[in-house]
Structure 1
Amino acid sequence: MDSSYLAEYAHSADSNAHFHGLPLTDEQKHLIAKVDEYGVTWAERAFKHDREASFPTENYEDLKAMGFLGLCVPKRLGGLGADYRTYTLVASRIAYYCGNTANTFNMHNANALWTADMIDAMDLTDAERESHEHNRAIHYGNMINGSIYSQPFSEGSGAAAGKHPFGTTATRSDSGWVLNGKKIFASLSGHANYYGVLCTEDVPNATLADTLFIAIPADAPGVSVVGDWDPLGMRGTVSRTLIFKDVHVPDTAQLMPRGIYIKAASQYPHMFMTLTPTYMGVAQAAFDFSVAYLRGDVAGVNVKRRMYPTKQHAIAEMYIKLQQAWALFHRVTSEFKRRPSREERSRAYACQYTVMEYCAEICAMAVRVCGGQAMLKTFPLERLYRDSRCGALMLPWTAEICIDRLGYGLLYKEGERDDD
């Protein structure tokens, strides 16, 4: 499909890229503009990757050329130094053009975002700080030189939701660690150069406190990718199953010091909503397509439908939901900090839920308002609709988990029980 209309309509996303009191910085504007240089091409490639359920390798070559594989690597270590809010803005713009690229790019960037300023602010021993600085310099160097990092979470259990330890284990050896286990829905499987794996140290009576965060080379002996990938949506993520069988890695594979991950997870809850920008961008893309389609601005659409009151009312309803989602998104992504308040944590759950659910609702409304022709695979809408349905299912904060935690947190004070 000719996606050139996006070059004009991207300004709609621009107008939503800030909120009152916190405009875009010059750096954020520059990074978003870099995405716009490639975005239309990514949008046109998206049809092929969705049809074939193939990974957007060409887009990652573009990201490498842009220097974006080091987007969240600190500047002092050679990266672009994007902070949390800057990452979310850039990711939402990438998703505006290709949700699959943004979804998988999240997995790559989390490996840097989680291990940079967040860890620097935590209470580490001198030895832990020294080893972490040494290890992350290696991995950041890999990213800057073009290596793609994934971050497989799910195991088909409650581990990714924080209910119990991960089933994938890491056993101490003389030269490092030996990993065994399985990850399902492992995005970028077969296409990442390293897998940033959350696993449990093999110790007696292991708990979540024994979680390790270890980078496994994709070509390490004992690593295999199995199974098919033919899902409803987000087909270009290629999230097949990863198997680890007696995989040996050195101590430098640790992306965080031992025991630090669970502390980071409790002190920085916003680290788990870095997928939210993907669905914010998809929602914006669906809205803008609908406006362009009804105006007759999309190539291949020669009939204007904007004059009908039913169309106008539907677009107005979509716009209201979109603005509600953007408003919450910007407030919450600007509240990222260590040890947020209960209110800030609750807003993070509300934001994740709202964006995921409203994205699906906006896409569904777009299908209805645009009508039958827009559902052809020559247009992006039916793909956006299918992709939008996947957000609410993604761990560690699915829509159900957000509602559970939000409801409990609003009715119970810290440490309070029913017998209090």
Structure 2
Amino acid sequence: MPDTQVTDHLTIDWIAAADAIGREIAATTARHDEEDTFVEEGFRALKAAGFFKALVPAELGGLGADYRDICQAIRRLGTICGSTALAFSMHSHLVAVPAWRWRHEKAPVEGLLKRVAAEDLVLISSGGSDWLPSNGRAEKVDGGFRVTAKKVFSSGCQMGDLLVTSAIHDDPQAGPTVLHFAVPFRAEGVRRLDTWRVLGMRGTGSHDVALEGVFVPDAAIVARRPPGQWHMLFHHIFALAFPLVYAAYVGVAEGARNHALEIARVKPKTAALTIAAGRMENAFMQAEMGLDRMIAIAETDAPGPERTSRAAIAHTLTAEAAIATVERAMELVGGSSFYRDLGLERAFRDVQGARFHPLQELPQLELTGRMALGMGIDG
């Protein structure tokens, strides 16, 4: 293990630590992509370096990392292994949101944050199936609920400790209500399904997780909301989660860009080559600017519909630019980029995932248009 196991949060250089981990796992990334296997080495290295408790406030036993630093560390990891970076970003946003709420709203979330720090927990998001509508059924029973659901895109679930998820309860008074809760992976009725056979980001291990009559005690319900509507919790999630997630994609784009430049610099310097390099550089700067704007919005803007709309715009622009960067890197290199051994083909497949996180482009355009026209955020 590289020399990244530092315990004093005031002295950790998270970007340098990510660099060290990247060097350690670089030789494994192609194998995990080829074999559709989880990037276990990357997660183990991240855990040894303290990354899973990095964003927990120091007052609660964590390492008190700066949010922007972790975004940039994820970006750096993404230059080497997009799957490690993306899977880790999913845990990170599940810590970043309660940490922000604890610090700024005095929300009663310190129990979870203290557990993450003390037990070095890995949190798994089921956000791919739990956006505003949620999914699954929660039936009321004595002392809690029985939950039945199938949760998709559960990145990193092979090493997960808690699944942070939701389900819909048909409340007799309030009507359909989304319940938010976490369940241990060791709980009876929690089952990982081997389903992750995909185009890109193959090493994230984003398998489905089945909840088969899982008991969730009343005390585990941390939030209730109407399905399908924007709730303040989701305004927090959207602004704080996606800079971490899209840092991974900008990292993939950066890795492709760097590799393409290495190859192109030894080619004859034709006008076509230099123009292709310039086009790639323009796209990459757009990706950097988009990510920086996403981070700044998360750091400084007040939570609410206006911030969510601005974050959604930056989200779309960052995704488009990251994808364009990899496409232009392949154009710069030429036909050899089509060969899998070169690595650009994997970057092309991995970066396509940027298209599919909420909000995708069409829903984003509708949301932003509604806000611009004074119609409100909910349809």
TM-score range, shorter chain: 0.7 to 0.9
**Is the contact made by 1:135 and 1:252 (CA closer than 8 Å) also made in structure 2?**
no
Report the counterpart of residue 11 of structure 1 in structure 2: none
1:325: which partner in 2?
Answer: 287
Q: CA deviation at 1:154?
A: 2.9
Alpha-carbon distance between aligned partners in 2 of 1:98 and 1:212, rounded to the nearest angstrom? 34
The residue aligned with 2:191 is: 224
Residues 46 and 98 of structure 1 are in contact (CA less than 8 Å); yes or no, is this contact kept in structure 2? yes
Q: Is the 8 A contact 2:235 2:303 kept in 1?
A: no
Contact kept? 1:149, 1:196, Cα under 8 Å: yes
CA contact (8 A) 1:335 1:344 kept: yes
State whether structure 2 residue 117 is matched by structure 1 residue 134.
no
Q: Which residue of 2 aligns with 1:387?
A: 350
Helix, strand or coil: the match of 2:127? coil
How far 1:189 sits from its partner (Å)?
3.4
Cα distance per residue 1:237-264 (max 9 Å; x no partner): 122221111112445645x355599322
- Please tell me whether residue 367 in structure 1 is matched to residue 321 in structure 2: no
Q: Which moved more, 1:268-277 or 1:341-350?
A: 341-350
Separation of aligned partners in 2, 1:342 and 1:223: 35
> Is 2:311 aligned against 1:348?
yes
CA–CA distance in 2 between the matches of 1:116 and 1:106?
15
Structure 2 residue identity aligned to 1:320: N
What corresponds to 1:298 in structure 2? none
Gaps of 5+ in 2: 1-8
The share of aligned pairs that are identical, in percent, is 26
Task: Return the TM-score normalized by structure 1.
Answer: 0.78
| Partner of residue 128 from structure 2, selected from 134, 147, 154 | 154
SS in 2 for 1:110: helix
1:71-150 matched pairs, under 5 angstroms: 71-122=54-105, 129=108, 132-142=109-119, 144=120, 147-150=121-124
Q: 1:187: which partner in 2?
A: 155
1:222-261 alignment, distance < 5 Å: 222-250=189-217, 253-254=220-221, 256-258=222-224
Tell me the equivalent position of 1:378: 341
2:34 is aligned with 1:57: no
2:319 maps to amino acid: M
Amino acid of the residue matched to residue 194 of structure 1?
A: L
Q: Give distance in 1, aligned partners of 2:218 and 2:137.
A: 15
2:265 matched to 1:291?
A: no
CA gap 1:285/1:199 in 2 versus in 1, 3 angstroms:
same
Distance 1:90 1:205, change over 3 A: farther
- Change in 2 beyond 3 A, CA 1:171/1:115: farther
In structure 2, distance between residues paired with 1:168 and 1:39: 37
Q: Is the 8 A contact 2:137 2:167 kept in 1?
A: yes
Q: SS in structure 1 opposite 2:128?
A: coil
Question: Does 1:282 find its partner at 2:252?
Answer: yes
Instruction: Provide the residue aligned with 2:359 in structure 1.
Output: 397
Question: 1:151, CA displacement in angstroms?
Answer: 0.3
Q: Describe the shift of the 1:122–1:231 C-alpha distance in structure 2 as closer, same or farther (beyond 3 A).
A: same
Q: Structure 1 residues 342 and 186 mapped into 2: Cα distance closer, same or farther (>3 Å)? A: closer
Secondary structure at 1:121's aligned position in 2?
Answer: helix
The answer on whether the counterparts of 1:268 and 1:340 sit within 8 Å (CA) in structure 2 is no
TM-aligned CA deviation for residue 226 of structure 1: 2.4
- 8 Å contact from structure 1 (residues 356, 399) kept in 2: no
| Cα distance in structure 2, aligned partners of 1:241 and 1:262 | 26
Cα RMSD for the two superposed structures: 2.9
Aligned partners of 1:107 and 1:150 also within 8 Å: yes
Taking a change above 3 Å as real, the CA distance of residues 109 and 267 of structure 1, as seen in their structure-2 partners, is: closer
SS of alignment partner, residue 183 of structure 2: strand
TM-score where L is the length of structure 2: 0.86
The code of the aligned residue for 1:168 comes to: G
Deviation by residue 1:159-208 (Cα, 9 ceiling, x = unmatched): 62x2x3x2223345444443211112322233322211122344237668
Segments of structure 1 that go 5 or more residues without pairing to the other structure are 1-25, 296-303
In structure 1, distance between residues paired with 2:333 and 2:294: 32
Deviation track 1:35-93 (CA, whole Å, cap 9, x = no partner) reads: 11121232321101110111110111101110111121111122122343233222211
> What is the aligned residue count?
366
